[in-house]
Amino acid sequence: MSSGIRSWFIDWYYPSQVGCIYGVKHYISSFKTKYQQIDLVELPFFGKALFIDGKLQSSLYDEYIYHETLVHPAMLLHGNPSKVLILGGGEGATLREVLRYDCVKHVVMVDIDGDFIEYSKRNLVEWHRGSFDDPRVELVIADGRKYIEESKDAFDVIIADLVDPLEGGPAVYLYTLEFYRLIYDRLSDNGVFVTQSGSLYFQEDVLRTIYKTLTQVFPAVEVYHTFVPAFFSEWSFTIASKSGRRASEMKAEYIDEMLAKHRINGLKAYDGVTHSRIFVLTKDFRERLARHSRIATDNEPIYIPLG
């Protein structure tokens, strides 16, 4: 083919039925950890991109959209977070966004896959930009569920930057009622929790269940979403506050003032106006979300079937 491309990743939403196809310019490195297959490749259009177990995690072209959208609403909803916990997020880009806040004095990052973290430190510098070296960072190699169960700390913001709850995968029990109760307990009084919650439309049952489950635990829960090009999907996040304060109530001007107050410059996707878009839900999704009743428990977790 004249494009010179001869190999492809296919990231299926439904195996062999619906998916996205990515031509590969060339491989940069491949690595198998105890937990997962890591492939760093150069894609056309998206540039350098990370696949884990063949699923695209993030590309240099648009990782800012995902990571800014995950981190900043939660940080601003708290207003003045000092202690932050990140579950997952091995590329270090969620960490990078959290460290923009001078008020943050201590970040604990918990990831199960120490080999991947080591790989990330060396190979994903364009993602973490040295964040692992910040003295405020404490890295813990552990299962996130277990860490939460055993920790006695209180955090102002907890960010779950986890892989999807794939059938039989390591993340299934980080999306259950029992887990969210533990999260609630680990938050300080006006603490905020945010989790990535997957794709609208394509895996919406998962997202609606995460939302519904969180409403059993927190007084205020909201879904927000934005388009992430490399995922070819509208990606969702679910945010919950212990105080009952709602992120959607923060006006565009307030967001911009808060970002200025915290001296957060250089964001590319997120600002007050963006905030006012992403917290508004379209009619169809709003109605499906309102009708949803399923909740996920350790006994009956929600997961994405392998097909």
205 is a contact residue toward a second copy (CB under 8 A): no
Minimum distance from residue 106 beta carbon to a second copy (Å): 29
Residue 168 · residue 178 · CB < 8 Å = no
Contacting residue, 105, 146, 251, 286, with a second copy by CB under 8 A: 286
Residue 86 · residue 260 · CB < 8 Å = no
* Active site (annotated) includes residue 53: no
16 is a contact residue toward a second copy (CB under 8 A): yes
> What count of other Cβ atoms lies within 10 Å of the Cβ of residue 123?
17
10 is a contact residue toward a second copy (CB under 8 A): yes
The 3-state DSSP class for residue 73 equals: helix
How far are the Cα atoms of 7, 159, 179, 233, 307 from residue 16, in angstroms, in the given order? Answer: 17, 32, 33, 18, 9
Closest CA to 132 of 102, 101, 109: 109
Burial-class residue 155 by CB neighbours within 10 Å (0-12, 13-18, 19+). buried
20 is a contact residue toward a second copy (CB under 8 A): yes
Cα 116–chain centre separation? 17
Minimum distance from residue 200 beta carbon to a second copy (Å): 7
Contacting residue, 201, 249, 253, 260, with a second copy by CB under 8 A: 201
Minimum distance from residue 273 beta carbon to a second copy (Å): 6
Contacting residue, 205, 271, 289, 297, with a second copy by CB under 8 A: 271
- Residue 51 or residue 211: which is nearer to a second copy going by CB? 51
- Residue 261 or residue 277: which is nearer to a second copy going by CB? 277
Q: Of the listed pieces 23-31, 130-138, 153-161, 238-246, which binds a second copy according to CB under 8 A? A: 23-31
Return d(Cα 269, Cα 69) in angstroms, integer.
8
Return the residues of window 240-269 that contact a second copy according to CB under 8 A: 267-269
Strand order in the sheet with 55-59: 26-32, 37-43, 47-52, 55-59
* Residue of 62, 111, 113, 161 with catalytic role: 161
Closest CA to 67 of 268, 240, 207, 263: 268
CA atoms lying within 13 Å on the CB side of residue 132: 20
Binding mask 46-75 for a second copy (x = CB under 8 A): x----x-xxx------x-xx----------
- Residue 38 or residue 159: which is nearer to a second copy going by CB? 38
Return d(Cα 229, Cα 14) in angstroms, integer.
18
Q: Of the listed pieces 18-26, 109-117, 180-188, 190-198, which binds a second copy according to CB under 8 A? A: 18-26
Q: Of the listed pieces 71-79, 125-133, 178-186, 228-236, which binds a second copy according to CB under 8 A? A: 228-236
Residue 103 · residue 81 · CB < 8 Å = yes
Active site residues: 161
Footprint on this chain of a second copy (rule: CB under 8 A): 1-24, 26-30, 32, 37, 39, 43-46, 51, 53-55, 62, 64-65, 200-202, 226-227, 229, 232-234, 267-271, 273-274, 276-278, 280-284, 286, 306-307
